[in-house]
């Protein structure tokens, strides 16, 4: 039996991926750019074992058995790796051996926190380790076919998913723009918002968007290319103000496109909008752009903020969005934040936004992080090819 | 002393006006189309007296003294009428006579119900009556300079405001597409939504939109022209389904553009989106498109619905958005609606949307209506040139 265990990080888009030109190959209508988040706070962890004795491919996700051969996206990733392994020549065991896969997300699945990106990146990376394949751009084209944005979770730091132009998708790859060390004090506060409404899934949402939005193609062709260029320059120069403005405009435009979809897809709620509004007022009050919001296909806010500005921003958030559990470790997750005194101006901006209590479920403090990593065998999720529990 | 008293209706945009190419002359970046609402439920009422004895121009709005000469838009309307009167030759009294103006809205000002459109249309129409000017397209260019959409309130039925191309705005006029009798069973339910948040005013919002939205010019140039054509055809043919789809898409795109503005302008809230979502589900449940929403620069929903479909739609709304006062005359304003039995399917769709109680302030039932009208002198708001109360 051969086994590999790896973790892969979550990534958060800055220039947004929204809309496919090929549903099956998951080819996007525009480039996107993301930042990879530290795996310490959030990651997917996957163990894959291959054995001559396995009768069939099997998979457990968060401890539950899930379909394998029926999952076209999963199969596409496995077959993609098989093709690479064949082309590579060397492999320690026959490709005909079946695999057992166990995967966990250490954060809520489908909470709008890009669990599928980390999950498929981890799957592909772990398969690559199992078959001794080198980490390269071809792996990103395979991860992309599991979940589009998964290709961006194969690198740390800042990552650029290029849409590509070829019909087979071979040039729709992710490349690293800069490693995490380039801008190590880039942190993030994730505000997880209470929300009851059912939402259109992002796959369905972007499909409807491509079919019905009168603005989405204009966005893809005329707006995104310049934004990608400008964002890459801002990252290069570590220019937070430009970085922030592009990021917020991109988030707003994604949700504009969703609203222009028919019937409309609405992912942000009143609390999300209150957070965005708070960020604009906060930046104005402190006199410089110190925070930038971005929202994906859900109501949660991800706020980019430099490490040195985290304590003050968090204090203002706590005032604006009060919570009964505001000081508890269950509420403030992730990297600890030293307390800070809040100045009067900040108190004013925050209090201008106070609505009901407990609008946020919890807050995660995290930062820029590395790409996937292989773990030692004692971290395996499988023992003799089967999950630990069960 | 000479006196004229008139009423003018509210209009509700179907293809939306959003964005000016000339702020001072109020010239829009795209055409818009609206339906005029029955003045029985909502209207502005204005009395204007002119007298040799008046020392200065004065105005009372909803009983309060408001600035006159300092109000550039108001002055522009008065001067526009003076120019027309001069050109017309005949007038009963010298243009140098000062005027006293009293105006009331019989509905909440600035509730997102286009009070300024009715108000300026009434002002210009009443001035025209006072100076014995004929009702024609030139009046619409004057009303437009008070408040853009006011030009559409000078006609009943369906109205088309053409953006025009000339720099002086002389061809940016409103024309009637069809009188109210063309589609007399076109009714409307206005759902007035409880809302606390302060909003960006529509003047400021569209200004910011033109300056910052990366999508607004594409909308104006590439999307709106076809929609105007399609909507005119739908109105001609009394094709409710096409009418409804264009109307809903237009509303969604207006709010998409607002969200793409930087910082974003958000006018719809969670209740607004719940109503839009309810309408889509309602139409699906009844098996044909029977209701169409539109939202302006506020959270209130205006639902277009044919007269015969009002009772059932209203009953479903009452189920989906329950209110403690649901049967009171203060809650259900306007044209009475006979009660109706609700079928199970409707109950299901409605109950799927129920959130908290009392999300709506009240509901107004109204319908397509006529243009402005002059009233007899006993309806005057001024006695000897001064307001009744005071």
User: Can you give the pLDDT at residue A214?
Assistant: 97
Using alpha carbons, select from B304, B35, B82, B286 the residue that is nearest to residue B190: B304
User: Can you give the pLDDT at residue A20?
Assistant: 97
Whether the per-residue pLDDT at B288 is higher than 70: the answer is: yes
Q: What are phi and psi of B134, to 5 degrees?
A: -75, 150
- Asked if A173 contacts A163 with a C-beta cutoff of 8 angstroms, the reply is no
Q: Which of A223, A260, A266 sits opposite B214 (nearest CB)?
A: A223
Mean pLDDT of all residues in B174-201 = 90
Instruction: State the Cα–Cα distance between residues A209 and A188, nearest whole angstrom.
Output: 29
Instruction: State the Cα–Cα distance between residues B124 and A66, nearest whole angstrom.
Output: 69
pLDDT digits (tens, 9 = 90+) for B214-226: 999 999 999 999 9
pLDDT per residue rounded down to tens, chain A (390 residues): 999 999 999 999 999 999 999 999 999 999 999 999 999 999 999 999 999 999 999 999 989 999 999 999 999 999 999 999 999 886 789 999 999 999 998 876 545 566 789 999 999 999 999 999 999 999 999 999 999 999 999 999 999 999 999 999 999 999 999 999 999 999 999 999 977 666 788 899 999 999 999 999 999 999 999 999 999 999 999 999 999 999 999 999 999 999 999 999 999 999 999 999 999 999 999 999 999 999 999 999 999 999 999 999 999 999 999 999 888 888 999 999 988 877 767 776 666 666 678 899 999 999 999 999 999 999 999 999 999 764
- Asked if B332 contacts B297 with a C-beta cutoff of 8 angstroms, the reply is no
- Asked if B151 contacts B141 with a C-beta cutoff of 8 angstroms, the reply is yes
Whether the per-residue pLDDT at B131 is higher than 50: the answer is: yes
Poorest-pLDDT segment among B235-244, B299-308, B329-338? B329-338
DSSP per residue, A285-325: HHTS---EEE--SSS-EEEEEEGGGHHHHHHHHHHHS--TT
* Contact with chain B for residue A306, Cβ under 8 A: no
Which of A287-292's residues contact partners 24+ apart within 8 Å by CB, and which partners?
A288/A241, A289/A240, A289/A241, A289/A244, A289/A245, A290/A240, A291/A244, A292/A240, A292/A243, A292/A244, A292/A245, A292/A247, A292/A248
Residues 6+ apart with CB under 8 A from B347: B319
- β-pairing, B20-22 vs A64-66, is unpaired
Residues 6+ apart with CB under 8 A from A116: A146, A147, A149, A150
Q: CA dihedral in degrees (B223, B225, B227, B233; nearest 10)? A: -160
Whether the per-residue pLDDT at B112 is higher than 70: the answer is: no
* Contact with chain A for residue B252, Cβ under 8 A: yes
Three-state secondary structure call for residue A144 = helix
Among chain B residues, CA nearest to A251: B260
The answer to whether the CB atoms of A252 and B261 lie below 8 A apart is yes
With beta carbons under 8 A apart, name residues in chain A contacting B249. 214, 260, 262
Instruction: State the Cα–Cα distance between residues B83 and B91, nearest whole angstrom.
Output: 12
Query: Kind and range of the H or E element at B213?
Result: none
Number of residues in chain A: 390
Whether the per-residue pLDDT at B109 is higher than 60: the answer is: no
The alpha carbons of chain B give a radius of gyration, in whole angstroms, of 21
- Asked if B332 contacts B365 with a C-beta cutoff of 8 angstroms, the reply is yes
Residues 313-352 of chain A with CB under 8 A from chain B are none
Poorest-pLDDT segment among A85-89, A337-341, B186-190, B256-260? A337-341
The answer to whether the CB atoms of B252 and A270 lie below 8 A apart is no
User: Can you give the pLDDT at residue A357?
Assistant: 85
Exposure string over B96-126, b if 16+ CB within 10 A, otherwise e: ebbbbbbbbbbbeeebbbbbbbbbbbbbbbb
Q: Which of B219, B252, B355 sits opposite A262 (nearest CB)?
A: B252
* Contact with chain A for residue B16, Cβ under 8 A: no
* Contact with chain A for residue B230, Cβ under 8 A: no
Instruction: State the Cα–Cα distance between residues B106 and A83, nearest whole angstrom.
Output: 73
ipTM above 0.85, yes or no: yes
Domains of chain A, first to last = 2-179+376-387 (3.30.230.10), 186-367 (3.30.70.890)
With beta carbons under 8 A apart, name residues in chain B contacting A252. 259-262, 264
User: Can you give the pLDDT at residue B198?
Assistant: 65
Three-state secondary structure call for residue B328 = coil
């Amino acid at each position: 039996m051969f086994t590999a265990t790896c973790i892969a990080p979550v990534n958060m888009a800055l220039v947004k991926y929204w809309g496919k030109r090929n549903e099956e190959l998951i080819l996007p209508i525009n480039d996107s750019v993301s930042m990879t988040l530290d795996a310490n706070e959030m990651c997917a962890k996957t163990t894959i074992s291959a054995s001559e004795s396995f009768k069939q491919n099997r998979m457990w996700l968060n401890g539950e058995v899930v379909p394998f051969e029926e999952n076209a996206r999963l199969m596409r990733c496995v077959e993609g790796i098989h093709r690479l392994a064949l082309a590579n020549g060397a492999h320690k065991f026959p490709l005909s051996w079946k695999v057992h896969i166990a995967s966990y997300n250490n954060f809520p699945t489908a909470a709008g926190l890009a669990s599928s990106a980390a999950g498929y990146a981890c799957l592909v990376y772990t398969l690559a380790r199992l078959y001794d394949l080198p980490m390269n751009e071809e792996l990103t084209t395979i991860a992309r076919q599991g979940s589009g944005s998964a290709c961006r979770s194969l690198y740390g730091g800042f990552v650029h998913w290029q849409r590509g132009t070829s019909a087979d998708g071979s040039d729709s790859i992710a490349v690293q723009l800069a490693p995490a060390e380039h801008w190590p004090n880039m942190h993030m506060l994730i505000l997880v918002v209470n929300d009851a409404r059912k939402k259109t899934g992002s796959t369905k949402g972007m499909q409807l968007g491509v079919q019905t939005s009168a603005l989405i193609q204009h966005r893809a062709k005329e707006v995104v290319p310049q934004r990608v260029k400008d964002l890459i320059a801002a990252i290069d120069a570590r220019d937070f103000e430009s970085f922030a403005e592009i990021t917020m405009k991109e988030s707003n435009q994604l949700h504009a496109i969703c609203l222009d979809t028919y019937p409309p897809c609405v992912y942000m709620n009143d609390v999300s909008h209150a957070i965005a509004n708070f960020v604009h007022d906060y930046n104005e009050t402190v006199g410089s752009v110190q925070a930038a919001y971005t929202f994906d296909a859900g109501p949660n806010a991800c706020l980019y903020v430099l490490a040195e500005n985290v304590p003050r921003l968090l204090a203002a958030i706590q005032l604006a969005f009060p919570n009964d559990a505001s000081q508890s470790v269950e509420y403030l997750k992730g990297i600890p934040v030293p307390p800070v005194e809040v100045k009067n101006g900040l108190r004013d901006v925050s209090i201008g936004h106070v609505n009901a209590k407990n609008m946020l479920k919890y807050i995660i403090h995290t930062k820029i992080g590395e790409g996937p990593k292989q773990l030692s065998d004692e971290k395996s999720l499988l023992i003799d090819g089967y999950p630990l529990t069960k």
